[in-house]
């Protein structure tokens, strides 16, 4: 009798332990996934219309606020054209520093994004506040929908589409809101790129 009770206890304990392991695996996977795709962790890539504040320490004549042109470039004294679009502020800072070394010994360059204007996304259709959104950081699809006030009662939540134009080619990316809300197929909650259009039928 005691042996049977001991075996039963051991089986119960093993079942509980297996459950704990599975739960920890799920939590761990969710945490890693969240870290991998957290929009706030992505370094902002500068684009046209962004305003940059560029300065060189102890060089008053080398302080400029410049708007990134539609061709993605800015002009800076001594070195001329600087490619800014699709680069981070740190990358531009390093580029200018290296190029200025021809004229200034050990230049200390600072590049700050003074105003973000390039990152615009669009949310249209069955949301409470349809329109263009200009924000200073990257958003995923769920965050964009929240910014637009959420879905209306008439929204076809599993037929949402993201339109993305790259190199004059438009790609349609499906998004099933109910699955993401239920914690299923979270990978479809992608980070939106500049100019993406979220359509909620």
Segment 51-110, tens digit of pLDDT: 999 999 999 999 999 999 999 999 999 999 999 999 999 999 999 999 999 999 999 999
Segment 154-177, tens digit of pLDDT: 999 999 999 999 989 999 999 999
pLDDT of residue 9: 45
SS3 for 30? Answer: helix
Confidence band, pLDDT 50/70/90 cuts, at residue 180: very high
pLDDT of residue 39: 60
pTM of the predicted model, to two decimals? Answer: 0.70
**Residue boundaries of the structural domains of the chain:** 1-37, 51-115, 119-200
CATH of 51-115, one of 3.50.50.60, 3.40.50.150, 1.10.260.40, 3.30.1950.10: 3.30.1950.10
Give the CATH superfamily of 119-200.
Outer membrane lipoprotein wza domain like (3.10.560.10)
Q: What is the mean pLDDT of the chain?
A: 84
Which residues are within 8 A (CB) of 66 and not within 5 positions of it... i.e. 6 or more apart?
51, 52, 54, 74, 75, 76
Q: Is the dihedral of CA 195, 196, 200, 201 positive or negative?
A: positive
């Amino acid at each position: 009798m005691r042996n049977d009770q001991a075996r039963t206890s051991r089986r119960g304990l093993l079942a509980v332990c297996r459950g704990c392991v599975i739960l920890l695996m799920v939590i761990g996977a969710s945490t890693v996934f969240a870290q991998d795709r957290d929009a706030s962790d992505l370094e902002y890539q500068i684009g046209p219309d962004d305003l940059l504040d560029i300065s060189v320490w102890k060089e008053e004549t080398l302080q400029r606020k410049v708007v990134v042109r539609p061709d993605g470039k800015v002009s800076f004294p001594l070195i001329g054209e600087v490619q800014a679009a699709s680069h981070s502020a740190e990358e531009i800072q390093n580029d200018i520093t290296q190029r200025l070394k021809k004229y200034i010994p050990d230049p200390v360059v600072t590049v700050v994004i003074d105003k973000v204007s390039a990152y615009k996304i669009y949310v249209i259709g069955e949301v409470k506040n349809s329109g263009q959104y200009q924000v200073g950081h990257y958003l995923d699809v769920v965050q964009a929908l929240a910014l637009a006030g959420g879905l209306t009662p008439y929204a076809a939540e599993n037929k949402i589409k993201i339109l993305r134009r790259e190199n004059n080619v438009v790609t349609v990316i499906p998004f099933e809101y109910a699955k993401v809300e239920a914690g299923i197929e979270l990978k479809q909650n992608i980070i939106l790129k500049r100019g993406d259009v979220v359509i909620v039928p």
